Amino acid sequence: YGCGRLNRDGLQIKSYWEGEESVTRFTPRPSHIAIPGYVYGGLIASLIDCHCTGTAAAAAYRAAGREMGTEPAFRFVTASLHVDYLKPTPLGVPLEVRGTVKEIKGRKIVVTASLSAQGEVCARGEVVAVEVPENMFPAGGS
């Protein structure tokens, strides 16, 4: 699993702006279990990672004054991922990830995020995302 709209086994999250925050929602499946009733921490890290790299790309479009999806595409990879697990995350309820752009510096964008279940923050994270050159991706790749 993981990121990328072309990854048919991926999480397939879609992130949107709500003011200055980016937001995505995802409902974990039974296969995302850690211990009975709770979400696996690796999925939580993956949600934060995918949402934050997507937020970095969206922020790059905003900073450049361009519409999302215009070419050449802005694509980002994770240089650093830090997650603090604050409390067990329940399985079977929608999760919400909210991101905030902390810093834009050249090809690097730092995004902080919180992951909540039923209004309770269960995890916080920070991603350092780095823009990659267009030629790193095959034609039509994501």
138 pLDDT higher than 70: no
Residues 85, 25: Cα–Cα separation, whole Å: 18
Q: Number of structural domains, the chain?
A: 1
pLDDT tens column, 60-86: 999 999 998 899 889 999 999 999 999
The radius of gyration computed from the CA coordinates of the chain, to the nearest angstrom, equals 15
Instruction: Note whether residue 106 is domain-resident.
Output: yes
| pLDDT > 90: percent of the chain | 77
Q: Which of 54, 64, 124, 57 is nearest to 96 (CA)?
A: 124
Instruction: Note whether residue 127 is domain-resident.
Output: yes
pLDDT tens column, 30-60: 888 989 999 999 999 999 999 999 999 999 9
- Burial class of residue 120, CB neighbours in 10 A (0-12, 13-18, 19+): exposed
CA 141 from centroid of its chain's CA atoms: 18
pLDDT tens column, 91-118: 999 999 999 999 999 999 999 999 999 9
Query: What average pLDDT does the chain have?
Result: 92
Task: Give me the CATH number covering residue 125.
Answer: 3.10.129.10
Instruction: Note whether residue 1 is domain-resident.
Output: no
Q: Are 49 and 3 in contact (CB under 8 A)?
A: yes
Instruction: Note whether residue 29 is domain-resident.
Output: yes
Instruction: Note whether residue 5 is domain-resident.
Output: no
- Could you give the C-alpha distances from 95 to 118, 123, 131, in angstroms and in order? 7, 11, 27
Domain ranges, residue 70:
16-136
DSSP state of 135: G
Instruction: Note whether residue 121 is domain-resident.
Output: yes
The runs of H, that is alpha helices, within 3-93 are 41-64
Residues 97, 52: Cα–Cα separation, whole Å: 9
